[in-house]
C-alpha cells in the first residue's frame, strides 16, 4: 500500500515505522514538507530514493494514487491539511491535537461531516493494555458505577515545551491541547461519557524570567550553572536549546481541570511540567462505591482496591513500546482501515470532542469561569 505524508517530522516517522511493521508492503510513495532538500538527503541515506517530494498537499493528492495519508505537521496546520485530504475519501492518520483554535475546530467538524474519509486520530493511550484492562474491570461492574475520577500527568521531560518550537503558543494552542488531550480522551473512553461543563486554572511559576528573547543556551553566561541548560547536551538538536527563562517563553507550566458529567459525577485532572526523575507520574483513579481501580503508566501497575473486603489485586505490565504499546495498536488499526477491513477505533469524533474540551478548559482558565462543553452553531 502506498502512503502519502504531509509533514515528515520525527513523530510521524515513528508512526510510519510501526505501520510498516504491521504490513511490510506499505511504502512511502510521496511526501509534502517545506524541508525538501534536507528530507531528500535523509531519504537517500535510508535507501529511499524513489519517494516523490511535493511543494503542496494539493499537488501530491492530484498526482498520486494513495492508499493512506498521514499528517505530521506542526500542530497549527493539522486542521488545514486534514481539510485537504478529507474530500478525497483516502484513509487519514491525523496527529493530535486535531485543531488548536475554536475556529479551526468548527471548520474541521464541518469538513468531516461532509467527507468520505475514515480518520484514525493519534490517541494511543486508550489502546494500551493498561487502559484496556481498567475499562474491562469497570465495565464488569466490579467496583460499581464510577462516581469520581482523579487523574494526574507529571511530565519529567517538560522542558521540551519551553526550549524548542513548542514554546510558541501559536503553534501549540497551550498545554491542555498538547498533553491533556490524551488524558481527557482515555478518561472519557473508559467512562463512556462526555463532560457537560469544565473549569480550569493554569499557572506559570518556573519557566519565566527576564533573559532576552531569542537567547540560546549556548550563548547564555549562566549555561554552566543553570539546571536547565542544554548547551552541553549532544543529544539535542541546537534548535531545542532556547532559554526557558527568557521573556519569549510561552506555555503554562502547570494546569488543573474539573470536569462535570451528565450523571452528576465529576473528575479532576492536573498536569505539571517541571518535575524531574521519580517525581514523574501519569495515571488515574476511578472510584465506585464497591471499589477503586488505579493505574500508573510509568510503573506499569494497575491496582484494584475492594472497599468492603480486605483485598487488593495488582496487575503489572512491561512495555518499552511507544506510548506504552498504544502506537502499535493504532498502526495496526490504520493498516486495517486502509485495507477496508475495519473501522477506526480512534475516530475523528473523539479527536474533535477532546480538542473542544481542551479549548473550553483554556477559555475557563483565561476567564476564571465555568464553561459549558457544547458545539456552538451545531
Task: Compute the radius of gyration of the chain from its Cα atoms.
Answer: 21
Task: Determine the pLDDT at residue 376.
Answer: 65
Structural domains in the chain? 2-123+327-345 (3.40.50.720), 125-320+356-372 (3.30.360.10)
Rounded distance, CA 118 to CA 370, Å? 34
Question: And the C-alpha cell for 239?
Answer: 534548535
Instruction: Output the tens digit of pLDDT for each of the chain's 378 residues.
Output: 999 999 999 999 999 999 999 999 999 999 999 998 899 998 888 888 899 999 999 999 999 999 999 999 999 999 999 999 999 999 999 999 999 999 999 999 999 999 989 999 999 999 999 999 999 999 999 999 999 999 999 999 999 999 988 999 989 999 999 999 999 999 999 999 999 999 999 999 999 999 999 999 999 999 999 999 988 888 777 777 899 999 999 999 999 999 999 999 999 999 999 999 999 999 999 999 999 999 999 999 999 999 999 999 999 987 666 677 899 999 999 999 999 999 999 999 999 999 999 999 999 999 999 999 987 655
Rounded distance, CA 93 to CA 72, Å? 9
Please answer whether residues 179 and 365 qualify as being in contact, where contact means their C-beta atoms are separated by less than 8 angstroms.
no
> Based on the number of CB atoms within 10 Å of its own CB, is 22 exposed (0-12), middle (13-18) or buried (19 or more)?
middle
Distance of CA 295 to the CA centre of its chain: 19
Beta strands 301-306 and 52-54, pairing class: unpaired
Q: Where are any strands of DSSP class E within 81-219?
A: 92-94, 119-121, 148-154, 197-203
Name the nearest CA neighbour of 263 among 201, 199, 188, 200: 188
Task: Determine the pLDDT at residue 321.
Answer: 61
Task: Determine the pLDDT at residue 234.
Answer: 80
Distance of CA 305 to the CA centre of its chain: 30
Task: Determine the pLDDT at residue 325.
Answer: 83
CA angle (285, 185, 141) in 5-degree steps: 45
Amino acid at each position: 500500500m502506498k502512503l502519502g505524508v504531509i509533514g515528515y517530522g520525527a513523530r510521524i516517522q515513528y508512526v510510519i515505522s510501526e505501520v510498516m511493521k504491521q504490513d511490510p508492503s506499505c511504502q512511502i510513495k510521496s511526501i509534502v514538507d517545506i524541508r525538501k532538500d534536507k528530507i531528500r538527503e535523509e531519504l537517500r541515506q535510508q535507501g529511499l530514493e524513489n519517494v516523490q517530494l511535493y511543494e503542496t498537499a494539493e499537488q501530491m493528492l492530484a498526482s498520486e494514487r494513495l492508499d493512506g495519508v498521514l499528517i505530521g505537521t506542526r500542530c497549527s496546520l493539522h486542521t488545514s491539511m486534514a481539510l485537504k485530504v478529507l474530500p478525497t475519501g483516502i484513509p487519514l492518520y491525523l496527529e493530535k491535537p486535531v485543531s488548536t483554535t475554536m475556529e479551526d475546530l468548527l471548520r474541521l467538524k464541518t469538513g468531516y461531516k461532509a467527507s468520505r474519509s475514515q480518520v484514525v486520530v493519534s490517541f494511543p493511550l486508550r489502546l494500551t493494555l493498561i487502559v484496556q484492562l481498567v475499562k474491562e474491570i469497570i465495565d464488569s461492574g466490579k467496583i460499581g458505577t464510577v462516581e469520581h475520577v482523579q487523574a494526574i500527568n507529571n511530565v519529567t521531560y517538560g522542558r521540551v515545551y519551553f526550549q524548542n518550537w513548542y514554546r510558541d503558543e501559536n503553534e501549540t494552542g497551550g498545554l491542555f491541547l498538547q498533553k491533556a488531550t490524551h488524558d481527557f480522551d482515555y478518561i472519557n473512553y473508559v467512562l463512556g461519557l462526555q463532560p457537560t461543563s469544565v473549569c480550569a486554572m493554569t499557572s506559570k511559576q518556573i519557566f519565566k524570567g527576564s533573559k532576552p528573547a531569542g537567547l540560546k543556551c549556548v550563548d547564555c553566561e549562566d549555561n554552566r550553572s543553570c539546571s536547565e541548560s542544554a548547551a552541553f547536551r549532544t543529544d539535542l538538536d541546537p534548535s531545542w536549546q532556547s532559554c526557558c527563562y527568557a521573556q519569549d517563553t510561552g506555555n503554562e507550566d502547570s494546569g488543573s481541570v474539573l470536569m462535570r458529567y451528565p450523571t452528576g459525577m465529576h473528575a479532576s485532572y492536573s498536569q505539571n511540567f517541571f518535575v524531574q526523575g521519580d517525581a514523574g507520574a501519569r495515571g488515574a483513579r476511578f472510584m465506585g462505591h464497591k471499589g477503586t481501580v488505579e493505574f500508573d503508566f510509568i510503573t506499569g501497575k494497575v491496582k484494584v482496591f475492594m472497599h468492603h473486603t480486605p483485598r487488593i489485586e495488582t496487575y503489572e505490565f512491561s512495555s518499552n513500546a511507544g506510548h506504552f504499546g498504544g502506537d502499535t495498536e493504532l498502526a495496526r488499526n490504520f493498516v486495517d482501515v486502509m485495507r477496508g477491513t475495519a473501522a477506526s477505533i480512534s475516530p475523528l469524533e473523539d479527536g474533535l470532542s477532546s480538542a473542544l474540551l481542551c479549548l473550553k478548559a483554556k477559555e475557563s482558565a483565561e476567564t476564571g469561569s465555568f464553561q459549558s462543553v457544547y458545539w456552538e452553531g451545531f
